[in-house]
Structure formats: C-alpha cells, structure tokens
Amino acid sequence: MIEFDYWQLLLFPLFFGLGWLAARIDIRHLVRESRTLPRSYFQGLNFLLNAQPDRAIEAFVEAVKVDPQTIELHFALGSLFRRRGETDRAIRMHQNLIEREDLKQELKLQALAELGQDYLKAGLLDRAEAVFDKLRDSELGEEAKRNLLEIYQLEKHWEKAIAIASELPDFASHKEIAEYHCELAAAEMIRSRRDLAAGYLQTALERNRKCVRASLLWGDMLLQEEQWEAAIASWQRIEQQDPAYLALVAQRLLGAFRKLDRRDAGLRLLRGYLEHYPSLDLLDVVFQLVLEGDGAEAAYELVRDELKRNPTLLGFDKLLEARLLLASAESRPDLELAKGIVQTYTRRLARYRCDNCGFKARQFYWRCPACGGWETYSPKRSEEFDLTP
C-alpha cells in the first residue's frame, strides 16, 4: 500500500499559483507586444474583416512603413490575393515592397520572386520572364529557372526551354527534353525544312530512345516524301518503344500500304497488332479494311470476336454498326434506336484522359492542356483506360 503524507497536499496550490503567474506573464507579454504594433495594422485587419481589401492593402502598406516587422504579413496577403485571382492587388503589394529603399536585400529578392508569380498568374508572361531572368543568378535561382522553363513552354520557345532544362538536370527529364526537340521538328516539317527536322528528331531519339513521337513524326516526314516503305518501318519501331501507341499510327500504316498496293499485307500487320495489343482505334481501322475486302459478314464476325475478348460499351457500339450492315428492313429501326441510345453514353467514354490530372479531351495531346504534363495521356480511350489492370 502506498503511503501518503498530508503535507504533499500543499503542493497543489503551489503548482496552481505558479501556473497562474506564468499565464499572467504571457498575457502581459502579449499585451505589451500588441501595443507596439502600429494602429494601421489593426485598421488593416478591420478593413479586411469588413471585405474592403483595397483599403486593407493601403493600411497594411502603411503598417509596413511604420514597423518592418509586419513584412511577413505583407507577403502572406500578397499570396492570398494571388490565389484568389486578384493579381492586380498582389502586384501592387509586391511592387510597394520592392520600391522600399530600407528593405533588406533578401526580402527584396523574395518580393521580386512573388511579383514574378503574380505576373505569371495574370498571364503577363513577358513581365514574368523579365523578373525571373533577374533572379537566375541569385539564391532563388533554382526556382526562378523552373518558372522560366514553364514560361518558355507556354510561349513555345523550345530552344530556350532546351537551354534552361540543361541547367535543371534533376527537374527536367530526358523525356521532356526529347519532346521539346519534337516540337521543333514539327515546326520545321511545316516549313518543309527536312534536314533541320531530321536533326531535331535524331536528337530527340538520342535523348530518349523510347520517344514514340519522334518515330511517328519521322514516319510522317518520310510519307511527305513518298517514301512509303521507310515510313512504315519508322512507324513499326513504335512496337518496341511502346506498343500502346500503335493505335495512333494505324490509319497512317493503312494509307502507306494502300499507296504500295499491299492492302493484304497491311491487314495482316494490323490484325496482328489488334490481337496482341487490343485497342478500339485499331479495331476501327481493321474493321474498315475487312469490310472493304471481305464484306459485312466478315466485319461483323471480327467485331463480335473482339467484343468477346475485350467487352466494352464502345466495342458494343461498333458491333451494332456492323449488325446494321446486315440488318433487314424490318429490324433496322430497332437496331438504329439501340445504337442511338448506346451512343449517348459512348460519347463521353470515347475521350482521352490525362493520367496525371484526369483531364479528358476528345483529341490526343502529347502535353496535357490542363496540368502541362508531357506524355501523360494514354493512347487508349477512357473506357479502355479504366478497364486496364
């Protein structure tokens, strides 16, 4: 049994008294600190609470002039306004900080970086670029270069993007740099500058030997020059790089084989791809080929067998299309009604989806227009993407 001394009861009021004294000291310290804050600080808070942000900014600017210790509040408010989309107020706030002669150099650099973010958010890319360019050699240089890379991509200044990416080896991947070269190659192909385009594509493949887009564009360039065999060989290389992307070149392969008058060889190749790498886009191309060469019955059997192997609503829509070709006049209205109902659902399933942010689009993008990720779109439709293990 534990012994208890009554004198220990005296410790409780002692501890209580010490706690009360500590609380009093903290309260006095807080009151003393609050008295040192300028009156404009409290005016600013009052304006902010009463939804008068313009007058709040003016009050906080005055507070900063009186007491530089409120500088962090200034930065916080600037970020808040930027997140709310009130970039003009954020710009004004950070410009006021930069113009102060008594502000420490490191705080001026921070204010300049915040101003660059304001310009970037507002879409003033030329001003943002000028700001971050000034910060390249500062202690904030790493973040400034990352922002510059984003700006160059938005402005499609791919040469500048390649140059700045080389200074960010831990941030810009070989895959992204290869894509910059592909962008340059695509532009040169439009201008019919074959040698320059070929140089950029070669560099892209050196940067990333699995760059599907480089092989695709190289085949397109050869197709323009009517080098059908070479174009087919370039597109076939995609099977070793990433066979899922074969769906993107199915129509191109078909066109090249037709130019060579080798439709049957093209059909065999595409049917082999469909068997090993199932895809709704591949199925659509093979369906058209079979329909042209072997008739509606063979095309229907193709789709039916593929639907058994890979059941999808989009595949069922294709099956109804094939069945309509064989339908009698009596059964056609019912099949057309069923196909119309199915299509109301398949329209949203036939989109491509970004694996990074989930943004969906009717067309395929090499760079997601929503999050800016490179090669984040699966070449499969969203329904197939959901069913992929």
Q: Annotated binding residue at 182? A: no
Residue 353's beta-bridge partner residues?
360
Per-position DSSP letters for 128-166, written without gaps between them = HHHHHHHTTTSTTHHHHHHHHHHHHHHHT-HHHHHHHHT
Helix axes 228-236, 246-259, angle to 10 degrees: 160
**Backbone phi, then psi, for 26, in 5-degree steps?**
-65, -40
Q: Annotated binding residue at 371? A: yes
**E strand map for the chain:** 352-353, 360-361
Q: How many residues does the chain have?
A: 389
Three-state SS annotation for 245-292? HHHHHHHHHHHHHHHCCCHHHHHHHHHHHHHHCCCHHHHHHHHHHHHH
Closest by Cα among 357, 114, 303, 127 to 377: 357
Under DSSP, the state recorded for 243 is G
Helix axes 141-155, 158-165, angle to 10 degrees: 160
Give the other-Cβ count within 10 Å of 222's Cβ: 21
Amino acid at 214: A
How buried is 31 (Cβ within 10 angstroms: 0-12 exposed, 13-18 middle, 19+ buried)? exposed
Q: Annotated binding residue at 211? A: no
CA–CA gap between residue 236 and residue 213 (Å, rounded): 12
List of residues 6+ apart from 222 with CB closer than 8 A: 228, 230, 231, 234
Q: Annotated binding residue at 357? A: yes
Per-position DSSP letters for 67-89, written without gaps between them = -GGGHHHHHHHHHHHHHTT-HHH
Q: Residues comprising the binding site? A: 354, 357, 368, 371
Q: Residues comprising the binding site for Fe cation? A: 354, 357, 368, 371
